Amino acid sequence: MSSPTSADRGRAVRARLLTAARELIGEIGWSAVSTRNLAQRAGVRAGLVHYHFESLPALLRQATIEGMRTTLDESAAWLSRADDPADGIEGLLTGLDRYAADDPESLLFVEAYLAATRDPVLHSQMAELMLAFRRDVAAVLDRAGHPAAEPTAAVVLAALDGFMLHKGLDPGLSAGTIAPVLRQLAAGTGRPGAATTEGEQG
Amino acid sequence: MSSPTSADRGRAVRARLLTAARELIGEIGWSAVSTRNLAQRAGVRAGLVHYHFESLPALLRQATIEGMRTTLDESAAWLSRADDPADGIEGLLTGLDRYAADDPESLLFVEAYLAATRDPVLHSQMAELMLAFRRDVAAVLDRAGHPAAEPTAAVVLAALDGFMLHKGLDPGLSAGTIAPVLRQLAAGTGRPGAATTEGEQG
DNA sequence: TATCGTCTTGGTCATTCGCCCAAGTCGATC
DNA sequence: GATCGACTTGGGCGAATGACCAAGACGATA
């Protein structure tokens, strides 16, 4: 009685293709994803790609946006759940740290940034997502009384993405190394009480 | 007489190919650079690529490493020339800001990070370069009495690369926005005198 | 049972890819 | 003037690419 056959199988194939796209983008790079290796990863025939999706770029766009939305929604939820903004940001950082080296999903974001440079449609969709997330981070900082919430949020997000980039080159770069600096940033300027930098950096 | 013909023309062709490679990597992406569009950009026949270079990836590697070395050397020189580390870092930032939107050369770095993820040779060469530069930045911070030079240097460099990434999505993100935050970072923790954040952020 | 819509198959199309090579140009050297 | 070596030309190789399509499969509907 798991009856739904035609339409449901189609839905499953679409989902498998989107998941495979997210994996492959991180593993081999955005423009190296082809209809054939994508179909192989998803376990379907290559002809299905152009039946279920308008084009290969359209598929990659949709997979990317869905993946980013999921990750950013979870991150925003985690952030607003933390007592202290610094705790929330450090949580984001360590979450990033845990699966950055192994899982290529983290590279999906960077690949998407670059792809957005050359794809106007992807660009506008990603810009909307990222602006909303940055607003969330700024709001959390502002609510905690941070004197410069907006620019600090911009720097923190830039540092997080850049951390992902640099971590690939230098395995010695871990979340623990830069967490104190990010905490200091999240704490604001003249608040010595939140300065965890003293005593245990390195 | 500008006589040197054979060997000298070859040298010129190699240089043109390397320059064209740096341009194209930023414009269309690392894996989209082909022997043919590369040769066309350099104003050279496609067959020359494999005469002057072992392979296309080898050419891209060499072009990338040379470009990065030049940029990093200039940046390090600029940094050590500044009186205050904060001034030096802000100089790096504004230099990055000026030609980030137009010139695709800024994307070369990000493309290289991703390519290094999949190319062990490029990986080791880039790692050496970036580690040396981060050491330079940390040394400048340390010399100015910064209490946490190493991790701060890591965060600053990550923020700079991340800034390049985010700037492509949000044109409203300019160097002026995040410069105060980076200054604060460069100034260290408990030094209110260097806190330029007050009064004019945004 | 017959028809319909949705999905799937297997293959083809023109194009582009990295790489290779025989033949040629041309100044330098003897 | 002959020879040499560095460089250049133009074409060609098999393989991979994105896109497309006629034909079939199969449960749902009538």
Domains of chain A, earliest start first: 55-194 (1.10.357.10)
Query: In whole angstroms, what is the distance from residue A17 CA to residue A14 CA?
Result: 5
Residues of B in contact with A177 (CB under 8 A): 150-151, 154
How high is the pLDDT of residue A55? Answer: 94
The Cα A134–Cα A150 span in angstroms is 8
Sign of CA dihedral B121, A157, B73, B134: negative
For residues B110 and B25, give the distance between their C-alpha atoms in angstroms, rounded to a whole number.
10
pLDDT at A202 over 50: no
Contacts of B63 (CB under 8 A, 6+ apart): B17, B18, B19, B21, B22, B25
Is residue A193 predicted with pLDDT exceeding 50?
no
Residue A135 CA to its chain's centroid (Å):
16
Is strand C less than 7 A from the beta carbon of A48? Answer: yes
Hey, which residues 124-143 in chain A have their CB within 8 Å of chain B?
126-127, 130-131
Instruction: Collect all residues of chain B within an 8 Å Cβ-Cβ radius of residue A198.
Output: 147, 189
What pLDDT is recorded for position B6? 66
pLDDT for the residue numbered B95: 85
Q: Which CA-bearing residue is nearest the C1' of D5?
A: B6
A169 with B127: Cβ contact below 8 A: yes
Rounded to a whole number of angstroms, the distance from the CA of B141 to the nearest CA of chain A is 14
The token pair that represents A18 in the structure block: 């989107």
Instruction: Determine what percent of chain B falls in helix, strand and coil, rounding each to the nearest 5.
Output: 75, 0, 25
A82 CA: distance to closest CA in chain B (Å):
22
Q: What is the pLDDT of residue B131?
A: 95
Mean pLDDT of A39-46: 94
- Contact of A171 with chain B, judged by CB distance below 8 Å, is answered with no
Other Cβ atoms less than 10 A from the Cβ of B77: the count is: 10
CB-strand contact B9/C, under 7 Å: no
CA distance B89 to A163: 18
- pLDDT the model gives residue B171: 84
With a 7 Å cutoff on the CB, does B2 touch strand C? no
User: From residue A15, how far is each of A62, A67, B41, B163 by CA, in Å?
Assistant: 11, 12, 40, 33
pLDDT, one tens digit per residue, over A62-91 is 999 999 999 999 999 999 898 899 999 998
DSSP assignment of A125-174, as one string? Answer: HHHHHHHHHHHHHHHHHHHTT-TTHHHHHHHHHHHHHHHHHHHHH-TT--
Contact A166, B161 (CB under 8 A): yes
Q: How far is B166 from chain A (nearest CA, A)?
A: 7
User: For residue A31, which nucleotide's C1' is closest to its Cα?
Assistant: D17
Closest protein CA to C1' of nucleotide D19, residue: A50
The nearest alpha carbon in chain A to B178 belongs to A151
Q: What is the pLDDT of residue A194?
A: 38
Question: Which parts of chain B have pLDDT scores under 70?
Answer: 1-4, 6, 100-103, 189-202
Position B37 scores a pLDDT of 96
| CB atoms closer than 10 angstroms to residue B168 | 21
Least confident of A22-31, A48-57, A92-101: A92-101
What pLDDT, on the 0 to 100 scale, is given for residue A68?
95
| CB distance A63 to A55 below 8 Å | no
By the CB < 8 Å criterion, does B163 face chain A? Answer: yes
Q: Residue B107: closest CA among chain A residues belongs to which residue?
A: A114
What is the C-alpha separation between B116 and B111, in angstroms, rounded? 9
Closest CA to A201 of B60, B105, B151, B32: B151
* Residue at the smallest CA–C1' distance to nucleotide C7: A6
User: Is B151's CB within 8 Å of A29's CB?
Assistant: no
Interface of A with B in 3-42 (CB under 8 A): 28-32
Q: What is the pLDDT of residue A198?
A: 39
Strand C lies under 7 A from the Cβ of residue B6: yes
Nearest CA in chain B to A30: B31
Closest CA–CA distance from residue B80 to any residue of chain A (Å): 22
> Cα(B65)–Cα(A88) distance, rounded to whole angstroms?
37
Percent of chain A with pLDDT over 70: 87
Q: CA A108 – C1' C5 distance (Å)?
A: 36
What is the C-alpha to C-alpha distance for residues B137 and B132, in angstroms, rounded to an integer?
9
Shortest CA distance from A32: residue in chain B: B31
pLDDT at B195: 37
Q: What is the pLDDT of residue B4?
A: 60
Task: For A77-130, write each residue's pLDDT tens digit.
Answer: 999 898 899 999 998 988 888 776 666 778 999 999 999 999 999 999 999 999
Q: Could you tell me which of B88, B66, B188, B74 has the C-alpha nearest to residue B137?
A: B88
* Average pLDDT score, chain A: 86
